[in-house]
Every structure is written in C-alpha cells, then in structure tokens.
Structure 1
C-alpha cells in the first residue's frame, strides 16, 4: 500500500507542475490546428504565451512559498541538543553513484547547516534520513540519500561512529516513522530537525504524528526573496519555486486529510 501511495504521489506531483499545463496548452493548440479549428488554436496559443510571460517575469511561487517559510523562525535559540535529524533532499544519488563524488543540489544547506550544527553540538547523535524519493531512481544506479550525506560528512573528517543512517524512507511520513524506530528517542531528549524552510511545516506534523515529543525545527534553504526583488525574467527559477510551492501545499493538505 505504501508503494502505491508513493507512486500515486509522484504522478500527482508531475501533473501539478506548471510546465505540464503549459505543455498541455501547446498540445491542445496543435491538435486544434490539425483539426482545422483555427479559432480554438489561436485562443490556446495566446493563453500559453500569456502564461509563459507571466511565469517568466513574475515570481508567483514566492507568494505561495513565503508563508510556509515564515512558519518557524530561523536560527532558533538552543542550548542543549541530544540529537540532530537531517532530512534528505539535498543529495544527488544518481550523480554521486556515477561520478564517485558527492553531488548536492540547490537544497545543499540541509547538509552544510547540519554539518555545522553537528560540530556545534559534539555530543549529539546525528541521524541522516533519506532513501530515494524519485521514480526514475528505480531503474537507474543510485545511492540512498542517507549514504550520500554520510559521504559528505566523512569527507570533512566527521567520525562515522556518530552517524545514524536511515536509508529506506521515500517520503516525509517514512522519514519520521523510520527515524523514530532507529533513534528510539527517550522522554526528555531534545532533537533538532533540519530541512528546507518551505518543507518544515509538513515535516513537523509528520514527526509529531510519528511519536516524536521534543523536536525543535531548524529551517534552512530559504527560497523566497520577495516579490519585488525577484520580479524580472527568470523562467527556470520562477518555475522551480512555483512547482515547489504547489507540491508542498498539496502535500500538506494530503497529509492532513490522510492522517499522515
């Protein structure tokens, strides 16, 4: 059942991407042209062009992702930490396996901030939680996200003995559940949760439902710089932020509805 939910969530995420709808508009225009429906084709092409210009110029994703990033404060004051949980999403398992070098992506702050916190709290246990959350990895050589992050830690001379690797999870629900089973936190322990700021609301809800009692959110990897500051032609950047925001809001609603 979990595998079916995983596959369904990935297909839904694909259908919710802004570029998917842009492609459907263009495909509809082509079909209309082939059928001789010039008026309909013209309307679809105009809609596609207007949408493309709006997405390229205006950071619409900032309007959706900024409220998520403001849910928890940055750099919370902390004095004692028993453990630090770092969620995957920053690693490139396929690239790492192919090149035999650690490959990170735009969410690299999850790893760099986690590493800084690990040095700041030398007695804390470090739990790296990530399997593979991409369907394409099922048919390609890849490394689990936790192993990629562990390799990044080891390259800085970090001791392997401090690391706990949870490498089976494919989504946030499994991150929370599998991490709890691995860490077995005791009452009174304080754990930091490190993930992207836009993802923290869903992550905290999942960890609380999984039984974690004292988890302190430590958001990193902020994406929204402000609507006016980001306005200007940046189609790839604006699409990326919009896709992230839509995926996250739908994920929050879906998790709440399913009790995950």
Structure 2
C-alpha cells in the first residue's frame, strides 16, 4: 500500500510521537474493526487497523513498566463482546496480565471514547494509539 502510506505520512508527521523520554501510567488503544468468534485464535478477531493498534499498545505498555493498557469501544450490532473486551483478551493472550488492563466498553464513537477516558483517568498523561487516518478525528478530543 505505498500510495496509502504516502498519503497518510503528512497526517502522521503532524502529531508528536512518544520518544521514550517521559514514562506514563496509561496507554489508550482506541477501538476499531473487530468480530467475535470464540473458536478463533484471539488475534484473528481483530480486523483492519485494530491488530496493529493493539500491537503498538502492547509495545508501549512494555516500555512503561507499571502502566495500564486501556482498550475502548462498545459492542457492535453483530457481536456479543465489545471491541474493548476483544482487545483485552488478545492482549492477555500475548502476555499482558488482566490486572494491567482497563476496558471502557460503552463508547460507540471517538467522542464517547474521549469522554470515557477522561472520566477514567482524569488529567493523567497518557499515550494514544490509533491509526494514521483516524488521528485528526481522535486529536479533536
């Protein structure tokens, strides 16, 4: 996807990335596309940009010992498990202890995700993980 990457690069470069200089207590991974089939490997339930978001969230969590990983996103109409819970289950399958995970499974869109994160952690600094095409909308809040 070289064309898509080239188009998204200016969006990504608009926002600062974490440079490992300040440790944080929270890493927030915004919800994305998913499905739920308990018969599948946990990570197979994450679709589109959701798995790369989760992988980056776990990488940042490992770089910030003692931090909490927050997954956001409600239940889609065709699923019985929320996107936040699917993210948590995948993270657990990759070695993140459940007590290090917070799920915010009521938000249905980016604005609601931002409000739920604010309610959960107040003004504490955090790292935000999303996809490049979602950054402009996510940064509004």
**Matches of 1:182 and 1:190, distance apart in 2:** 12
**Matches of 1:159 and 1:196, distance apart in 2:** 24
Higher gyration radius (CA):
1
Matched with 1:163 is 101
1:75 offset after TM fit, Å?
4.9
Question: Of Structure 1 and Structure 2, which has the larger fraction of its residues in helix?
Answer: 1
**Matches of 1:156 and 1:62, distance apart in 2:** 27
1:169 offset after TM fit, Å?
1.1
**Matches of 1:111 and 1:131, distance apart in 2:** 16
**Matches of 2:100 and 2:16, distance apart in 1:** 27
Matched with 2:126 is 191
Matched with 1:114 is 57
Matched with 1:173 is 111
Conserved 8 A contact 2:8-2:132? no
**Matches of 2:40 and 2:5, distance apart in 1:** 35
**Matches of 1:119 and 1:174, distance apart in 2:** 27
Matched with 1:13 is none
Q: Counterparts in 2 of 1:54-203, with a 5 A limit?
A: 59=3, 65-89=8-32, 91-93=33-35, 96-97=36-37, 99-102=39-42, 103-107=45-49, 108-132=51-75, 137-138=76-77, 140-183=78-121, 185-186=122-123, 189-203=124-138
Q: 1:71–1:147: structure 2 CA closer, same or farther, 3 Å change rule?
A: same
Q: 1:112–1:63: structure 2 CA closer, same or farther, 3 Å change rule?
A: closer
Per-residue CA deviations over 1:192-217 (Å, capped at 9, x if unaligned) read 111112212221211xxxxxxxxxxx
Gaps of 5+ in 2: none
What TM-score, normalized to structure 1? 0.47
What is the aligned residue count? 136
**Matches of 1:78 and 1:87, distance apart in 2:** 23
